[in-house]
Chain A
């Protein structure tokens, strides 16, 4: 009992240094920064509006050599296509795939990020309360999570979408008509956040159970600090590490969920585009006669690159926070 009572540092020292020294993590961060940059600039660098229809439908990436037949087709359709006019080709309606992939990045990233944040708020609050209060409350709250776990997530998310969508659309229509076009994105954020918080809550609860027995919490109580203050000032800072790791890993999970819903036709609808909806469009036109591979390759590459980078980063942060885990 002679150990000094002190609030342990929120993160072990040197976390950032260890993270940057990890070459893979650095590369992942640079890739993510690049993708985020392109997505934020978005409309400024679209060669075309991603929704603009042109006569050049299903055109090969324009830097590839064209057969004489295709060149003639281009001329018939209103002029030859410049070498860098459609670097990723065009889709069935002649829309520029490059612009659509950037548009997809904007939507997929915003859904991933905000969905992960929603799950973070719910999961952290739930886990904190469950772990801190403990006892019967904890028991009931954990059984509730187990119950949700036993129901396939697809049912929850589809039912949530069908329940919230009409409500949100009418509300937006009445109050903020300018945001109406974003209703679908908001619904996806909300519903995906609603199914991804379960693991976060469990992890936070586990940490809180261990932390609240430590002496600095006892000391804070003895000093007369309120429960709310202990949670905010003493427990949360110690949870930051776990939360950041888990948040980084939740973003790719939400992006993946969104693309799955778009794949089912429940996510982003034409003419808007997310990576998932682009992939779903691309998959539909793959057939034994023509393989329009560029419709699949470029969105898939963009999405996979982002997911790989996020997962690498999450892993690297975990390693950096817990140097023992690697050795």
Chain B
């Protein structure tokens, strides 16, 4: 087990480096220059000076190597900064190219909590309600309850969040006046975005749970448990759910990473200051540092959660062996 975790952490670093490298190179090779885009009239010399200052001069691979912290950065004789290693591996996310007096780390530290709180609420909603609906549908298979749940789930998956979001705002904020329209003003402002964000995932998890529960319900150990005379509830909760939930658990990795790092649509509909907006704008502004910083956070969460998921798997289903 420890060697397994060690190996996974090693692969985490590897995946992270690859994702950041690819993002960095893609963005630097895309048409458009961060320094020319943000400042209207820049002479080529001014741009070159800026590029040198931010270690974005020279070939793209060399820029990337310096960003990752595998080579020394340019020395800055004006401010007596020597050539030193200061990149991703040293934990330096660089300054933001759009707002030059802020560092990427500051911006992320400011936006991540908003996205994370919202994401955690949505995560809680989607797993609990999703698993509950899915198991109800599986146990009451082929009844109207089952069909209605699954119909509703497919509808919820199909309708995009920028339809449900404004629709909820229209009904609950503007017509009924129960909840705030948007902004970040406390628990009540969290309800609508969390529901909007969780909606499709509730549906997806309900479908996953139903399918896997149906499979488990047909297995021998369930019949054994019933034959032993265990109560229906006990069989369901103690035996069926524990195995039936496995596909949901493996979906939790990508789900958590997606939810916690924010969704631009939700943030823009509800005017929340989260990560999604930063990420999209960083790509539009060719702000490689902010973009790669966001990718770093996303990948760390994704791979880290996948590791936790694998460990949880082992605990839920002892037949599984981690390699």
Contacts and interface: CB of A to CB of B under 8 A. Distances in A.
Contacts of B19: 147, 150-151
Contact of B170 (A158, A259, A286, A307): A286
B291 A155 contact: yes
A303 interface: yes
Interface stretch (B20-28, B50-58, B70-78, B127-135): B20-28
A152 B166 contact: no
A293 interface: yes
Interface string A277-311: 00110110010100101001000100110011011
Interface residues of A, number: 38
B175 to A, nearest CB: 8
A300 B158 CA distance: 11
Interface in B162-178: 162-163, 166-167, 169-170, 173-175
B159 A158 contact: no
B18 A312 contact: no
B163 A264 contact: no
B160 interface: yes
B179 interface: no
A154 B265 CA distance: 13
A51 interface: no
Contacts of A147: 18-19, 22
A158 B181 contact: no
B37 to A, nearest CB: 11
Interface string A142-155: 00000110111011
B96 to A, nearest CB: 17
B312 interface: no
B31 interface: yes
B163 A315 contact: no
B269 A283 contact: yes
B30 interface: yes
A296 B26 contact: no
B278 interface: no
- Secondary structure at the A interface, as helix, strand, loop or mixed, is helix
Interface in B23-67: 23, 26-27, 29-32
B284 interface: yes
B160 A264 contact: no
A159 B154 contact: no
Contacts of B27: 155, 159
Given A150-B18, A300-B163, A159 B158 contact: no
Contacts of B163: 279, 296, 300, 303-304
A89 interface: no
B30 A159 contact: yes
Nearest to B218: A327
A308 B31 CA distance: 37
B280 A159 contact: no
Interface in A30-83: none
A12 interface: no
Nearest to A259: B160
B27 to A, nearest CB: 6
B191 interface: no
Pick from A152, A259, A280, A283 the residue with the most CB of B within 10 Å.
A152
Interface of A: 24, 147-148, 150-152, 154-156, 158-159, 162-163, 166, 252, 256, 259-260, 263-264, 279-280, 282-283, 286, 288, 291, 293, 296, 300, 303-304, 307-308, 310-312, 315
Across the A-B interface, the 6 shortest Cβ-Cβ residue pairs: A307-B158, A150-B19, A300-B163, A308-B158, A159-B30, A304-B159
Interface of B: 15, 18-19, 22-23, 26-27, 29-32, 151, 154-155, 157-160, 162-163, 166-167, 169-170, 173-175, 181, 264-265, 268-269, 279-280, 283-284, 291, 294-295, 298-299, 302
11 contacts: A24-B151, A154-B280, A155-B23, A155-B295, A158-B30, A159-B30, A296-B167, A300-B159, A304-B158, A308-B158, A311-B157
Given A150-B22, A263-B265, A296-B167, 12 more contacts: A24-B151, A150-B19, A150-B299, A156-B26, A259-B160, A263-B268, A282-B166, A286-B166, A296-B163, A300-B159, A304-B159, A307-B160
